Amino acid sequence: MLKIKVVLASVREGRFGEKPATWIFNKAKAREGFDVELLDLKDYPLPRFAEPQVPAMLGGNYTNEIAKKWAAKVAEADGFIFVTPEYNHGYPSSLKDALDYIFGEWNNKPVAFVGYGANGGVRSVEQLKQVVNSNLAMHPVPSTVNMEHPWNFLKEDGSFDTTHFEKAGDGMLDQLAWLGEALKAARK
């Protein structure tokens, strides 16, 4: 079983992110071979990163109590799905801090992305791929789910019609499973 953590990046009041996060969580949970948990960054209210040392130098000995809890959750994972909006052509500061506060717990694990917003979160995902791959030794899967104007897919009852995103979600999860198994074996 691959332990997959779905990370809901937006902490904004009235956020839309719960809808795509719930969708991909349920989709991943329905797959054989995945043990999935949803991690909401609202539950890990890290302050702005201003620690005296960079996390790579700490060897997992973090000083911030929330960072310690966050690190323990991230360490459990064999892979991740980041669900992120695009704010001003980038990803939210809540996700930046979640990435910056810890280091080794991210290494050599795959990450997939569900981006959403007016442009489908494309630019935030592009930036994240650079950061996680070059600095955190994570391995982004090639396929992403980009939800352009996702609020247009809300039904009258408030439910989210994901029909348009199902194929992309399946392909992304297939790649996450393949890469996740390969990296899990390599980490052993």
Residue-level pLDDT at 87: 92
Residue-level pLDDT at 51: 83
CATH code of domain 2-187: 3.40.50.360
- Residue segments in the chain with a per-residue pLDDT below the cut of 70: none
Burial class for 3, CB neighbours closer than 10 Å (0-12, 13-18, 19+):
middle
Which pLDDT tens digit goes with each residue over 18-43?
999 999 999 999 999 999 999 999 99
Per-domain residue ranges of the chain? 2-187
Q: What is the pTM of this model?
A: 0.96
Which pLDDT tens digit goes with each residue over 133-154?
999 999 999 999 999 999 999 9
Residue-level pLDDT at 117: 95
Residue-level pLDDT at 74: 98
Residue-level pLDDT at 165: 97
Residue-level pLDDT at 58: 86
Output the furthest CA–CA distance in the chain (Å, rounded).
51
Residue-level pLDDT at 61: 87
The DSSP annotation for 100-164 comes to HT--TTTTT-EEEEEEEETTTTHHHHHHHHHHHHHTT--EE-S--EEEESGGGGB-TTS-B--GG
Percent of the chain at pLDDT exceeding 70: 100
* β-bridge partners, 140: 111
